[in-house]
Amino acid sequence: MAWRKIACSKTELDLGVTLICGQSFRWKETAPGEWTGVLKNLVWNLKQSDDLLFYKTLEESPAASSDLTQEDILKDYFQLHVNLSKLYEQWSSDDPNFKSKASSFRGVRILRQDPVENLFSFICSSNNNISRISGMVERMCEEFGTSLGEYEGLHHYSFPSIESLAKGSVEQKLRKLGFGYRAKYINQSARFIMENHSEHWLHNLRKLPYNEAKSELMKLCGVGAKVADCVCLMSLDKNDVVPVDTHVWQIAQKYLPSLRSSKTITPQVYNAVGNHFRELWGEYAGWAHSVSLHRIVYNF
DNA sequence: TTTGGACCTGGCTCC
DNA sequence: CTCTTCAGGTCCAAT
């Protein structure tokens, strides 16, 4: 199948960084400058030039998303309606630190992910590293997802349904797949959602205000403030949320001397740090956070 | 309300 | 090659 294209400048979207920086764990660079992954139950191939985003899929017509064209799916996933250059200008003008240290890393966007994939992937992220998380998520899809076919020698699977993760045998299977103590969190959270809500409940959290959505998420086992915030930001449309991880915490201490007395991230401290950056960066604070964090984690 | 430990695993550094 | 430490946290028990 031939490549199709969408107009999109590299300053608005840096594919490589955006796909690999630890938001989604399912994209792989299968050739130089070319990424393969699963989105809306389709296998996608993506690449870009300075002003075009190229895409093709394994299947022509998506059964599970027939109401959307493939172009619509990508525009939604990358949130291309958001003018990133304009936001960089705003963050640079409001925050000298962003301007001097982060503003040159162009095209880092927040993906609009599926809440189910987002939640269960990030339950895996606690006290863990990106490389291992990626392997775990891949094995989870292989074990509990459905096959989407083979593409250039690689098999691809859908992200498992909540129902399939709620079954009795899941914890033990995940343990064998190397999930450690997170195996229980995944199974218990899935079971809690199926027993108290429904498969679609997570999607509906998009309609709730931030605080309510977060508080609902934190009722799940293995979901604390940080994971809940990641889900709010990356799949529930709460663009101003800044998840406070160890990196953000380190940075925050430099600029908020009043917080230095705390040895650990207490709920109060967590909120103070999150609020600080939310006020500093504004409506899309979570996006600015991802730009800054990328720079920190990869030590550029 | 706050604090310190334990928790699975595998990649990493340093012997 | 073995050992220690640690990685984008969370839960639990004891203050």
Q: Which nucleotides of B are covered by protein (CB under 7 A)?
A: 1-4, 7-11
Q: Which nucleotide is nearest to A180 (CA to C1')?
A: B8
Looking at residue A161, what is its pLDDT? 98
- From A112, A109, A145, A118, select the one nearest A9 (Cα to Cα): A109
- Protein residue minimizing CA–C1' distance to C8: A245
Report the distance from CA of residue A249 to the C1' of nucleotide B5 in Å, as an integer: 21
Q: Which nucleotide is nearest to A132 (CA to C1')?
A: B10
3-state secondary structure string, chain A? CCCEEEECCCCCCCHHHHHHCCCCCCCEEEECCEEEEEECCEEEEEEECCCEEEEEECCCCCCCCCCCCHHHHHHHHCCCCCCHHHHHHHHHHHCHHHHHHCCCCCCCCCCCCCHHHHHHHHHCCCCCCHHHHHHHHHHHHHHHCCEEEEECCEEEECCCCHHHHCCCCHHHHHHHCCCCCHHHHHHHHHHHHHHHCCCCHHHHHHHCCHHHHHHHHCCCCCCCHHHHHHHHHHHCCCCCCCCCCHHHHHHHHHHCHHHCCCCCCCHHHHHHHHHHHHHHHHHHHHHHHHHHHHHHHHCC
A246 touches strand C (CB under 7 A): yes
Q: Which nucleotide is nearest to A184 (CA to C1')?
A: B8
Label residues A132-169 b or e (16+ Cβ within 10 Å = b).
Answer: ebbebbbbbbebbbeebeebeeeebbbbbebebbbeee
User: Is residue A276 within 8 Å of A252, Cβ to Cβ?
Assistant: yes
Domains parsed from chain A with CATH numbers:
4-81 (3.30.310.40), 112-238 (1.10.340.30)
Looking at residue A299, what is its pLDDT? 40
Report the distance from CA of residue A103 to the C1' of nucleotide B6 in Å, as an integer: 40
**CA-to-CA distance for A210 and A238, rounded, in angstroms?**
6
CA atoms within 13 A on the CB side of A95: 21
- Nucleic strand C contact set for A 194-223 (CB, < 7 Å): 218, 220-223
Q: Which amino acid is at A228?
A: A
Predicted TM-score of the model (pTM): 0.96
Looking at residue A61, what is its pLDDT? 59
A245 touches strand C (CB under 7 A): yes
- Nucleic strand C contact set for A 99-158 (CB, < 7 Å): 125-130, 132
Looking at residue A64, what is its pLDDT? 53
Q: Which nucleotide is nearest to A135 (CA to C1')?
A: B10
Report the distance from CA of residue A59 to the C1' of nucleotide B9 in Å, as an integer: 36
Report the distance from CA of residue A48 to the C1' of nucleotide C1 in Å, as an integer: 45
Residues written for chain A? 300
Q: Which nucleotide is nearest to A247 (CA to C1')?
A: C8
- Protein residue minimizing CA–C1' distance to B8: A180
Report the distance from CA of residue A50 to the C1' of nucleotide C10 in Å, as an integer: 42
Report the distance from CA of residue A85 to the C1' of nucleotide C1 in Å, as an integer: 51
Q: Which nucleotides of C are covered by protein (CB under 7 A)?
A: 7-11
Report the distance from CA of residue A123 to the C1' of nucleotide C8 in Å, as an integer: 12
Which pLDDT tens digits describe chain A residue by residue (300 residues)? 799 999 999 999 999 999 998 999 999 999 999 999 999 999 999 999 999 999 999 987 555 555 579 999 999 999 999 999 999 999 999 999 899 988 999 999 999 999 999 999 999 999 999 999 999 999 999 999 999 999 888 999 999 999 999 999 999 999 999 999 999 999 999 999 999 999 999 999 999 999 999 999 999 999 999 999 999 999 999 999 999 988 888 888 877 877 777 778 899 999 999 999 999 999 999 999 998 877 555 443
Q: Which residues of A are catalytically annotated?
A: 226
Looking at residue A298, what is its pLDDT? 46
User: Is residue A41 within 8 Å of A145, Cβ to Cβ?
Assistant: no
